[in-house]
């Protein structure tokens, strides 16, 4: 398998990192198992739950559906990269204040997805938030609080 490995660079949360992995390694598994960034979650590995949502060049994507090698030269932002030092991102603050989670397993994906949503300009109404956050499942059912958290944070960005 070593022969098949390819080498590439991804900027993750502002830091350029070099990898040498097989082409079938997904971005999600790369983050979790090789980059030590387990904040991004695996809920299904099939693009069906949104737990693995990260931002690639500013756009929200399901990282379980992306091959790592194809991110060569791109910028990836994960949940670990949102806070500025000890200063939480407004979405992170909003999620805490509105108790927008229970178990917390869908949370990093929800927050990254919400950031993408706000940048897409689709967080302007409750209906729009509900519709365009529907790719992120929350089995704990914290949906109402997630909407409230996004509504609060959208004005602070």
Partner 1 sequence: MISLPHFPEHLQKLGPHTGKPLDRVDGLAKVTGKALYAAEHHRPGLLYGVVVSSSVARARIRSFDTADALAEAGVVQVFTHQNRPKLASRSKKWRDQDTPKGSPFRPLEDDRVLFSGQPLALVVATSFEAARHAAALVRIEFDEIEQPETRLLERLGQGKAPGRAKGGFTPPPGPHGHPQQALKSAFARVNADYLVSAEHHNPMEPHAATVFYEEDGSLTVYSKTQGPVGEQAFLSAVLGLKKDRVRVLAPFVGGAFGSGLRPQYHLVLAAMAALELKRSVRVVLSRQQMFTFGHRPYTWQHVALGAERDGKLVSLVHEAVAETSKFESYVENVVTWSARLYPCPNYSLNHRVVPLDVYTPLDMRAPGAVTGLFAIESAMDELAHELGMDPLQLRLVNYGEKDGLTGHPYSSKELRACYQQAAGRFGWEQRWSEPRGRREGSKLVGWGMATGVWDAMQVPASARARLHLDGRLEVASATTDIGTGTYTVMTQIAADVMGLSLESVEFKLGDTSLPEAPLQGGSFTVASVGSAIKAACDGLRDQLFKLAQKMPNSPFYARSQAEVEFRDGRLGLPGHPEAALSYAQILRQQGVSVLEEEVKVLPNLLKQRGYSLATHSAVFAEVQVDEELGTIEVTRMVTAVAAGRILNPKTSRNQLLGGMVWGISSALHEKSELDLELGRFINHNLAEYHIPVQADIRHLEVVFVEEQDEIVNPLGIKGLGEIGVIGVAAAIANAVFHATGRRVRHLPIRLDDLL
Interface with partner 1 (CB under 8 A): 1-2, 22, 24-25, 29, 32-33, 36-46, 48-49, 51, 78-80, 82-83, 88, 92, 95-99, 101-108, 111, 129-131, 133-148
**Cα of 44 vs its chain's centroid, Å:** 14
Cβ(72)–Cβ(54) below 8 Å? no
Shortest gap between Cβ of 52 and ligand FES (angstroms)?
A: 3
Shortest gap between Cβ of 51 and ligand FES (angstroms)?
A: 5
Residue 26 tokens read as 């997904």
With CB cut-offs between 5 and 8 Å by kind, which of ligand FES, partner 1, none does residue 69 bind?
Answer: none
- Dihedral sign from CA coordinates of 16, 22, 30, 63: positive
Please report where in the chains the tokens 């809920």 appear, as a residue.
Answer: 43
48 binds ligand FES (CB under 6 A): yes
């Amino acid at each position: 398998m070593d022969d098949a490995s390819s080498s590439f660079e991804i900027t993750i949360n502002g830091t350029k990192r070099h990898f040498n992995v097989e082409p079938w390694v997904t971005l999600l598994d790369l983050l979790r198992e090789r980059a030590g960034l387990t904040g991004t979650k695996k809920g299904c590995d099939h693009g069906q739950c949104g737990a693995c949502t990260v931002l690639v060049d500013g756009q929200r994507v399901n990282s379980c559906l992306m091959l790592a090698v194809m991110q060569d030269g791109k910028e990836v932002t994960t949940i670990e990269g949102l806070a500025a030092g000890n200063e939480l991102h407004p979405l992170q603050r909003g999620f805490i204040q509105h108790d927008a989670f229970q178990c917390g397993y869908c949370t990093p994906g929800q927050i990254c997805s919400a950031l993408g949503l706000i940048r897409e300009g689709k967080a302007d109404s409750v209906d729009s938030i509900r519709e365009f956050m529907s790719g992120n499942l929350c089995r704990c059912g914290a949906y109402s609080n997630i909407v409230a958290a996004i509504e609060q944070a959208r004005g602070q960005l």
